[in-house]
Structure 1
């Protein structure tokens, strides 16, 4: 018996380890380590010296506080990106706290965690026990020095008698929160900046716009973002309670009742009729039912005094449209907080700019909970943030989103832009057919900067006021989805920006031109990740599919499924192959690092350029004093499992290939690996 036990233990130690389910699990080979060793590298070599990176625009005051740490350590990037994206479904789907959690998540990724931004740490509001809704509006009038007229007094008193104590207290908390926001916001900017002119300039300003970027730079240096988040937090918390109360069945009197306030009109409608709402300057709209139409500015701050604007539409197939091109709109906050929550129905959203979940020096959120919805916009929309938080949260249904520039998870300077969809066969389009933002790379196509994009302002060749990018995140859960863009999209970063893209389930289709599907330029970070399904990728030109350019790091990660990669442009006249793209599928360029990982499945790579499949290049001339001489430029390609088809003969099944630059062979290295089996621990 003893002999048997000894033999069993020895076999156990050699073959693997004991798993929680009681099975003997085989330890898989670390494919990443195998690939590195083929080129004489190890994990320790895959980093950049932070002190040398600090020579690159280290004086920028707008760098995300967590950026430099992972910038110098590219192997930490996938884990950090996964932590970021894994939390979003948890926070967004906690239906009793979803506004609060996404708000706190956004502040932690931009200006840092502040305990005071949690509701339990806030000082109590002074709410009247008797007639709280009536008294909250009266208090706002007194604080603002406005006359509280007899007509309003009579109307409010009569309305107060018709609503429950719960409804009255919930409405009162929101009104008092708006008063709090207005007063606390004054501390965030100098008095000279808090003007209607500043507000209007911000509607056209963008950190990446050469005409308005300097205005944003100078305003940003005087802007206290933490104070603004502190000012806005009560609106978020009270909106959570509004949604819970009126979405949970708390009733309102029949008919459309309107109450003017110094911060905008309050419109409360307890009817289930099909209603028309129009105009702007709304502090709060609650509609409990009906197929409603909203024409104008709703759920968005429309002036400096209209510092908060919230819409809660409980049910119905609703239409939100903007016939006059008002900006902002539909869940947008400019120097304030704007939230739109539609709880049920097949809805249509049409707007221009700064809309559909856009935060500009403020907070903007759009939540749609059910239905097959359609969204169309132009710029800075559908989850876009600049010195603020912009979030577009969709839950169920097959939805269609269309924008042009800066949307669908777009983070400009000091901003978090988030687009999240839980389920459904969805379509994301960043229009590349109607050219209104011609790209510097290819003027026949639009610059998209969408679908998980972090973008900054490059000014080293203009006024010198560069501004680091923010963080743009797109997370889509279940469904067979379609993504289309032009130049820069689908997990991309530019100028110290961070772009993160994750699609977790479904057979998905991706199409883009240049800098797409895990690509970066100029000191940026990007992660593209598809975790399941038979996917189709079209990336027509460099730099795409896991390529980092100029001290940038990019990852393209596909886990599972039989995937197809098409990497060429065709002549539209005859649809014949015109030109294969270069610098794709795991490349480092000009001291960049690009990683391409495809795990599992029988994959087809219709990609025939030499500078693909693990390639590195520095075209900059040799010079004795450049940091490029001793900092790693790495392109790495790994495909694990399956019977794969490649477009180049040097890519062979179950083999390594290594290519080094003649001028800098120690630091300019391209590596490829096709492995029958293995794992990638850096992705855990």
Structure 2
């Protein structure tokens, strides 16, 4: 019986891990940073990553088999406290099962059930006396039914026992396209050596168990969990092909994640800046094809730049030409509100007390969201992304050099008096055009207070309190080119500092130690559009609240940093965040960088100590919860190529994901430190996949609670792969290759003298768990490729290969080849 993906609930495992903390303090006080050793070239590191993945944990995909359609009821069930079961006089039931939530459009809703109902019996059979077992008993009985069977339920509502007879439904199996990966196909062709994981599965006779977990995970890639379709003829129109591929082949997470990142960093690195190709590659990961744009004109003086802006504006208009005026207005209003903890529309709907008013408000919101999504599907996203590719070429060295040389001696010209208090300092030109204001600032200090479509600033320590490359209704194309100076960008308004809302917004800063401050929807975010922030040099600081620093929702948000020691601070939905049909990227080429996300918006699971981050390479989907309109998630990427970096987050971060999405954090080199809360550091949560990959350095990973460091929960997959170095892992429960409900988790360490600390070793360090609600276990693996290692779990020793119940595999190799099965 398809009960729905689990609802992630508060973890009860918050006991202190005193031994682990003490060890962490000792080791942290004497960091082990390698010195005098050359860092591996990116090609060498990638080859090592690929070879380790093949040797350590790749599994053949042919074990996956078809799963029969499951019976579907459509309600989230919960335990009922005995003292809350208040029955009418003369009625006797020992226990019941509560309905925590009814899925809109489900058989449960059609039968009239609603939140707060208590189910007392199914087909006249009760659930026993144990309230803890009642949920499992009801779930098992529903599972035994077939699609179309009618069930008779007695339930309690408002102090009355009611009865209903209703049919059970099923979810159709869909033919969802998968991303082709011909470069990986050869791995499983011809003769090959099986991986260490493959041999362990055979050794411990776990092939059937592995195949069932892999098959159940793959099956969700062909199922619609978004309930009410946006377009009935196009089920799951926002499901990304890459996510489908990885749900079907989760052990290839490292290879696919590395390939995605390589396709992006090949276009933006210390030697190469090809931003048009960067846009094209990013769009390809959203299953969109972008034609290569024409080169900018040779003349990039004032008239040439105006011509580029006019052409880009026309391309945007053509891309959105199919949308009505009403749809455009709806998108302008709705897109910036989809992600906002301070104005939570789902919570507001839940708090409507009158049932009729609440249902009417929910129906209105469902139609509003469906209208938005239908409009997005009619837009020509390929052409919209093409406008960004064309415009972004102005950041590339040949074009940038021509612009700077041509405008270097641009004389100051009088401008309309109404703008005298809007643009201050060394202002050379303010001109009105059909696409918005054009402003040129000289080499001195300039102050920009009013919005402009195009700003070219030739130098000086400048201050921007305007849109600064943020597209607006009146200017769907916006561009800032700032060539030099320690600049300050500060704006409280949304859609600023390289943000595209139904358009393209680009901010390019070539030199200087810059400060970027914003609230929401800023600093390289695309909402039904493209936002780019490219900072090529300097020690920079980024500060924001929500949906900042590389975020995409039905669009691209690309933040590219050249060199320097940079600091990123945000609270949520940031630092490489991909929402529905969106890709959010932070690409850091060089420098010792610090990333911080969280500590403002409390998580309901542990509200007195935990905060949601949803950042640092996090993919997220719109799960149908309060409303019945849902949509699959996007791709969030944080890619840091070099430097000793610090990553700090709380719940949901650091190469993780939720709801048909992909999250990637890839750090190429350096002695790095990772600090987080639950659902992080390579975690796939609820029908999702996430990977944290660190290729070089003595690294420290700390999670204060659960489901992190190569973890997964609920038909999902998570991976943490550390290629080399002497590393430290500290966590508590379901960590270090530990997983929850029917999922697959891997922690792989390629070598080095490593320390693994976990508070709950029974369900950590290569451990699966059995869930009665699904009547099946999970696959958790910890594979260490060599070195003198230390584990909290006394069952694990150097050179050992062991298995744990339901179903865990631990492989520690001490052979010269790093292969525990080498002869």
Normalising to structure 2: TM-score of the pair? 0.66
The 5 Å alignment of 1:26-45 reads 30-41=195-206, 45=211
Partner of 2:530: 363
Shift of 1:98: 2.6
Equivalent-residue separation in structure 1 for 2:395 and 2:254 (angstroms): 38
- Is the aligned partner of 1:590 residue 2:741? yes
Partner of 1:92: 268
Equivalent-residue separation in structure 2 for 1:42 and 1:298 (angstroms): 57
Shift of 1:245: 3.1
Shift of 1:103: 1.0
- Is the aligned partner of 1:611 residue 2:763? yes
- Is the aligned partner of 1:311 residue 2:311? no
Match of 1:673 among 794, 811, 820: 811
Match of 1:254 among 400, 403, 411: 411
Equivalent-residue separation in structure 1 for 2:530 and 2:726 (angstroms): 41
Equivalent-residue separation in structure 2 for 1:362 and 1:455 (angstroms): 18
Q: How many residues align?
A: 578
Q: Is the 8 A contact 1:517 1:544 kept in 2?
A: yes
Q: Is the 8 A contact 2:498 2:522 kept in 1?
A: yes
The 5 Å alignment of 1:269-418 reads 269=441, 271-280=442-451, 282-302=452-472, 304-322=473-491, 325-418=492-585
SS of equivalent residue, structure 2 residue 811? strand
SS of equivalent residue, structure 1 residue 424? coil
Shift of 1:241: 3.3
Q: Is the 8 A contact 2:283 2:385 kept in 1?
A: no
Q: Is the 8 A contact 2:744 2:779 kept in 1?
A: yes
Per-residue displacement from partner, 1:361-400 (whole Å, max 9, x unpaired)? 1000000000100010001011100000001100100000
Per-residue displacement from partner, 1:443-493 (whole Å, max 9, x unpaired)? 52211000000001111x422222111000110011100000010000001
Equivalent-residue separation in structure 2 for 1:376 and 1:47 (angstroms): 41
CA distance 1:232–1:515, change in 2 (3 Å): closer
CA distance 1:606–1:165, change in 2 (3 Å): closer
Partner of 1:78: 254
Partner of 2:588: 421
CA distance 1:285–1:76, change in 2 (3 Å): same
The 5 Å alignment of 1:197-276 reads 198-206=331-339, 210-211=345-346, 214=366, 215-224=368-377, 227-241=380-394, 244-248=398-402, 249-252=404-407, 253-255=410-412, 256-269=428-441, 271-276=442-447
CA distance 1:582–1:206, change in 2 (3 Å): same
Per-residue displacement from partner, 1:244-301 (whole Å, max 9, x unpaired)? 43444423213320111232201123x2101111122x11101111111111211001
CA distance 1:272–1:52, change in 2 (3 Å): closer
CA distance 1:528–1:288, change in 2 (3 Å): same
Shift of 1:105: 1.4
Partner of 2:787: 642
Q: Is the 8 A contact 1:385 1:417 kept in 2?
A: yes
Equivalent-residue separation in structure 2 for 1:52 and 1:310 (angstroms): 42
Q: Is the 8 A contact 2:746 2:780 kept in 1?
A: yes
- Is the aligned partner of 1:189 residue 2:323? yes
Shift of 1:192: 1.9
Equivalent-residue separation in structure 2 for 1:301 and 1:321 (angstroms): 16
* Uncovered stretches (5+) of structure 1, i.e. residues with no partner: 1-25, 128-163, 568-580, 623-627, 662-668
Equivalent-residue separation in structure 1 for 2:271 and 2:750 (angstroms): 34
Equivalent-residue separation in structure 1 for 2:651 and 2:378 (angstroms): 31
Shift of 1:409: 0.5
Q: Is the 8 A contact 1:608 1:648 kept in 2?
A: no
Equivalent-residue separation in structure 1 for 2:641 and 2:466 (angstroms): 32
Equivalent-residue separation in structure 2 for 1:235 and 1:510 (angstroms): 34
Partner of 1:54: 222
CA distance 1:60–1:239, change in 2 (3 Å): closer
Shift of 1:174: 1.5
Partner of 1:118: 292
Equivalent-residue separation in structure 1 for 2:316 and 2:264 (angstroms): 29
* Uncovered stretches (5+) of structure 2, i.e. residues with no partner: 1-54, 56-191, 227-234, 349-364, 413-427
Partner of 1:146: none
Per-residue displacement from partner, 1:93-146 (whole Å, max 9, x unpaired)? 3877532022111211114224xx2125xxx99x9xxxxxxxxxxxxxxxxxxx
Shift of 1:217: 4.4
Partner of 1:67: 243
Q: Is the 8 A contact 2:214 2:248 kept in 1?
A: yes
CA distance 1:603–1:225, change in 2 (3 Å): farther
Q: Is the 8 A contact 1:247 1:314 kept in 2?
A: no
CA distance 1:378–1:600, change in 2 (3 Å): same
Partner of 2:97: none
Match of 1:490 among 654, 672, 685: 654
CA distance 1:239–1:657, change in 2 (3 Å): closer
Per-residue displacement from partner, 1:18-38 (whole Å, max 9, x unpaired)? xxxxxxxx9999433343233
Equivalent-residue separation in structure 2 for 1:642 and 1:247 (angstroms): 51
Superposition RMSD in Å? 2.7
Partner of 2:751: 600
Equivalent-residue separation in structure 2 for 1:639 and 1:462 (angstroms): 43
Q: Is the 8 A contact 1:382 1:409 kept in 2?
A: yes
Shift of 1:223: 1.2
Shift of 1:327: 0.7
Q: Is the 8 A contact 1:298 1:310 kept in 2?
A: yes
Normalising to structure 1: TM-score of the pair? 0.79
CA distance 1:179–1:506, change in 2 (3 Å): closer
Per-residue displacement from partner, 1:208-262 (whole Å, max 9, x unpaired)? 9653984444301221376144035234313413654344442321332011123
Equivalent-residue separation in structure 1 for 2:687 and 2:266 (angstroms): 31
